[in-house]
Structure 1
Protein backbone atom coordinates (compact mmCIF):
# COMPACT_ATOMS: atom_id res chain seq x y z
CA UNK A 1 0.00 0.00 0.00
CA UNK A 2 1.25 3.48 -0.83
CA UNK A 3 2.00 5.75 2.07
CA UNK A 4 0.37 9.14 2.18
CA UNK A 5 1.43 12.13 4.21
CA UNK A 6 -1.56 14.24 3.19
CA UNK A 7 -4.99 14.17 4.83
CA UNK A 8 -7.67 11.72 3.78
CA UNK A 9 -10.87 12.85 2.10
CA UNK A 10 -14.31 11.45 2.82
CA UNK A 11 -16.48 10.22 -0.07
CA UNK A 12 -20.27 10.24 -0.04
CA UNK A 13 -20.14 6.47 0.25
CA UNK A 14 -18.47 6.86 3.63
CA UNK A 15 -15.21 5.37 2.41
CA UNK A 16 -12.08 7.45 2.80
CA UNK A 17 -9.32 7.71 0.24
CA UNK A 18 -5.99 9.43 0.04
CA UNK A 19 -5.09 12.28 -2.25
CA UNK A 20 -4.56 11.02 -5.79
CA UNK A 21 -1.54 13.24 -6.36
CA UNK A 22 0.43 12.03 -3.36
CA UNK A 23 -0.51 8.42 -4.14
CA UNK A 24 0.91 8.75 -7.65
CA UNK A 25 4.28 10.25 -6.67
CA UNK A 26 5.99 6.90 -5.93
CA UNK A 27 4.41 5.33 -9.01
CA UNK A 28 5.52 8.14 -11.34
CA UNK A 29 9.16 8.32 -10.17
CA UNK A 30 11.52 7.27 -12.94
CA UNK A 31 8.95 7.84 -15.69
CA UNK A 32 9.76 10.32 -18.44
CA UNK A 33 7.15 11.66 -20.90
CA UNK A 34 7.81 10.15 -24.32
CA UNK A 35 6.29 9.32 -27.69
CA UNK A 36 6.50 6.10 -29.71
CA UNK A 37 5.75 5.34 -33.33
CA UNK A 38 3.78 2.09 -33.13
CA UNK A 39 4.64 1.27 -36.75
CA UNK A 40 8.44 1.53 -36.45
CA UNK A 41 9.00 1.21 -32.69
CA UNK A 42 10.97 4.48 -32.68
CA UNK A 43 10.79 6.27 -29.28
CA UNK A 44 11.66 9.87 -28.41
CA UNK A 45 11.66 11.49 -24.99
CA UNK A 46 9.58 14.65 -24.68
CA UNK A 47 11.81 17.73 -24.87
CA UNK A 48 11.12 21.42 -24.32
CA UNK A 49 12.01 24.19 -26.79
CA UNK A 50 15.59 24.26 -25.48
CA UNK A 51 16.09 20.52 -25.98
CA UNK A 52 15.94 19.72 -22.25
CA UNK A 53 13.76 16.93 -20.84
CA UNK A 54 10.19 18.17 -20.55
CA UNK A 55 7.88 17.45 -17.64
CA UNK A 56 4.91 17.10 -19.98
CA UNK A 57 4.20 15.70 -23.44
CA UNK A 58 5.65 18.49 -25.56
CA UNK A 59 5.79 18.27 -29.37
CA UNK A 60 9.04 20.29 -29.56
CA UNK A 61 12.03 18.55 -31.13
CA UNK A 62 10.09 15.51 -32.38
CA UNK A 63 11.15 14.15 -35.79
CA UNK A 64 9.62 16.07 -38.70
CA UNK A 65 8.21 12.87 -40.21
CA UNK A 66 6.04 12.44 -37.08
CA UNK A 67 4.34 15.82 -37.51
CA UNK A 68 1.18 15.98 -39.61
CA UNK A 69 0.11 19.59 -38.96
CA UNK A 70 1.71 22.83 -37.75
CA UNK A 71 0.28 26.16 -36.62
CA UNK A 72 1.00 29.59 -38.13
CA UNK A 73 4.29 29.78 -36.22
CA UNK A 74 5.46 26.41 -37.52
CA UNK A 75 4.96 24.60 -34.19
CA UNK A 76 3.63 21.05 -34.31
CA UNK A 77 -0.04 20.74 -33.33
CA UNK A 78 -0.88 17.26 -34.65
CA UNK A 79 1.14 14.06 -34.91
CA UNK A 80 0.69 11.20 -37.35
CA UNK A 81 -1.82 8.56 -36.16
CA UNK A 82 0.82 5.90 -35.45
CA UNK A 83 2.54 8.05 -32.78
CA UNK A 84 1.25 7.52 -29.24
CA UNK A 85 2.05 9.30 -25.98
CA UNK A 86 3.38 7.42 -23.01
CA UNK A 87 6.26 7.23 -20.58
CA UNK A 88 9.78 5.87 -20.79
CA UNK A 89 11.07 3.85 -17.88
CA UNK A 90 14.33 1.92 -17.70
CA UNK A 91 12.38 -1.18 -18.74
CA UNK A 92 10.99 0.42 -21.90
CA UNK A 93 8.04 2.42 -23.25
CA UNK A 94 4.66 2.38 -21.51
CA UNK A 95 1.75 3.64 -23.63
CA UNK A 96 -0.74 5.76 -21.70
CA UNK A 97 -3.82 4.36 -23.43
CA UNK A 98 -2.97 0.79 -22.45
CA UNK A 99 -2.29 1.63 -18.79
CA UNK A 100 -5.26 3.79 -17.87
CA UNK A 101 -8.52 2.05 -17.09
CA UNK A 102 -11.22 4.51 -16.09
CA UNK A 103 -14.21 3.25 -14.12
CA UNK A 104 -17.52 3.32 -15.93
CA UNK A 105 -20.26 5.50 -14.51
CA UNK A 106 -23.27 3.65 -13.17
Structure 2
Protein backbone atom coordinates (compact mmCIF):
# COMPACT_ATOMS: atom_id res chain seq x y z
CA UNK A 1 0.00 0.00 0.00
CA UNK A 2 1.16 3.54 -0.70
CA UNK A 3 2.79 4.88 2.49
CA UNK A 4 1.69 8.41 3.30
CA UNK A 5 2.68 8.20 6.97
CA UNK A 6 4.56 11.08 8.55
CA UNK A 7 8.25 10.25 8.68
CA UNK A 8 8.33 8.78 5.17
CA UNK A 9 11.47 9.94 3.37
CA UNK A 10 10.52 12.02 0.34
CA UNK A 11 12.93 13.06 -2.41
CA UNK A 12 12.10 15.83 -4.86
CA UNK A 13 13.78 15.67 -8.25
CA UNK A 14 14.42 19.35 -9.00
CA UNK A 15 14.20 20.57 -12.57
CA UNK A 16 12.20 18.90 -15.33
CA UNK A 17 11.65 15.19 -15.94
CA UNK A 18 10.07 13.56 -18.99
CA UNK A 19 6.88 12.22 -17.40
CA UNK A 20 6.19 9.94 -20.37
CA UNK A 21 8.46 7.60 -18.41
CA UNK A 22 6.67 5.04 -16.32
CA UNK A 23 7.81 2.72 -13.53
CA UNK A 24 11.03 1.42 -15.08
CA UNK A 25 12.11 4.76 -16.55
CA UNK A 26 11.63 6.65 -13.29
CA UNK A 27 13.32 3.87 -11.31
CA UNK A 28 16.29 4.08 -13.71
CA UNK A 29 16.57 7.83 -13.09
CA UNK A 30 16.61 7.21 -9.34
CA UNK A 31 19.29 4.53 -9.61
CA UNK A 32 21.53 5.89 -12.37
CA UNK A 33 21.25 9.67 -11.95
CA UNK A 34 20.81 10.01 -8.18
CA UNK A 35 22.52 6.77 -7.05
CA UNK A 36 19.66 5.80 -4.72
CA UNK A 37 17.73 2.55 -4.38
CA UNK A 38 14.31 2.83 -6.09
CA UNK A 39 13.24 -0.26 -4.12
CA UNK A 40 13.57 1.56 -0.79
CA UNK A 41 10.33 2.67 0.84
CA UNK A 42 11.06 6.31 -0.05
CA UNK A 43 8.82 8.49 -2.21
CA UNK A 44 10.39 10.07 -5.30
CA UNK A 45 8.61 13.09 -6.81
CA UNK A 46 9.09 14.31 -10.39
CA UNK A 47 7.67 17.27 -12.37
CA UNK A 48 7.36 17.94 -16.10
CA UNK A 49 8.94 20.82 -18.02
CA UNK A 50 5.79 22.99 -18.05
CA UNK A 51 5.28 22.31 -14.32
CA UNK A 52 1.69 21.22 -14.85
CA UNK A 53 2.10 17.56 -13.83
CA UNK A 54 3.85 15.64 -11.08
CA UNK A 55 4.44 11.92 -10.57
CA UNK A 56 5.29 10.24 -7.28
CA UNK A 57 6.96 6.81 -7.38
CA UNK A 58 7.10 4.53 -4.35
CA UNK A 59 7.95 0.85 -3.81
CA UNK A 60 5.67 -0.90 -1.28
CA UNK A 61 7.52 -4.20 -0.98
CA UNK A 62 5.70 -6.04 -3.76
CA UNK A 63 5.43 -3.45 -6.51
CA UNK A 64 5.64 0.19 -7.52
CA UNK A 65 2.93 2.78 -6.99
CA UNK A 66 2.64 5.84 -9.19
CA UNK A 67 0.57 8.75 -7.99
CA UNK A 68 0.02 11.53 -10.53
CA UNK A 69 -1.52 14.99 -10.46
CA UNK A 70 -2.12 17.21 -13.47
CA UNK A 71 -3.22 20.84 -13.16
CA UNK A 72 -5.82 22.27 -15.49
CA UNK A 73 -4.67 25.84 -14.80
CA UNK A 74 -1.52 27.42 -13.36
CA UNK A 75 1.70 25.59 -12.53
CA UNK A 76 3.46 24.00 -9.59
CA UNK A 77 6.05 26.10 -7.74
CA UNK A 78 8.86 23.70 -8.61
CA UNK A 79 12.55 24.08 -7.81
CA UNK A 80 14.49 24.83 -10.98
CA UNK A 81 17.91 23.43 -10.18
CA UNK A 82 18.44 20.59 -12.66
CA UNK A 83 20.22 17.42 -11.57
CA UNK A 84 19.55 18.15 -7.89
CA UNK A 85 17.71 15.85 -5.53
CA UNK A 86 16.27 17.48 -2.42
CA UNK A 87 14.87 15.73 0.62
CA UNK A 88 11.55 17.29 1.69
CA UNK A 89 8.75 16.48 4.12
CA UNK A 90 5.29 15.19 3.32
CA UNK A 91 3.96 18.55 4.52
CA UNK A 92 6.06 20.31 1.87
CA UNK A 93 4.76 17.94 -0.83
CA UNK A 94 1.21 18.78 0.27
CA UNK A 95 2.10 22.48 -0.04
CA UNK A 96 3.39 21.94 -3.58
CA UNK A 97 0.28 19.97 -4.53
CA UNK A 98 -1.90 22.75 -3.12
CA UNK A 99 -0.16 25.36 -5.29
CA UNK A 100 2.15 26.79 -2.64
CA UNK A 101 5.93 27.06 -2.68
CA UNK A 102 8.18 25.03 -0.41
CA UNK A 103 8.57 28.10 1.81
CA UNK A 104 5.10 29.67 1.90
CA UNK A 105 4.92 33.05 3.57
CA UNK A 106 3.07 33.03 6.84
CA UNK A 107 3.54 29.31 7.43
CA UNK A 108 4.52 28.35 10.95
CA UNK A 109 7.92 26.73 11.28
CA UNK A 110 7.89 23.36 13.01
CA UNK A 111 9.66 23.38 16.34
CA UNK A 112 9.76 21.34 19.51
CA UNK A 113 9.35 23.44 22.64
CA UNK A 114 11.40 22.72 25.70
CA UNK A 115 9.43 21.37 28.60
CA UNK A 116 10.26 23.18 31.80
CA UNK A 117 9.58 21.19 34.96
TM bin, normalised by shorter chain, reads under 0.3
Structure-1-length-normalised TM-score: 0.23
Q: Larger % of strand: which?
A: 1
Which protein shows a greater Rg? 1
Q: Quick one: higher RCO (CA 8 Å, sep 6+), 1 or 2? A: 2
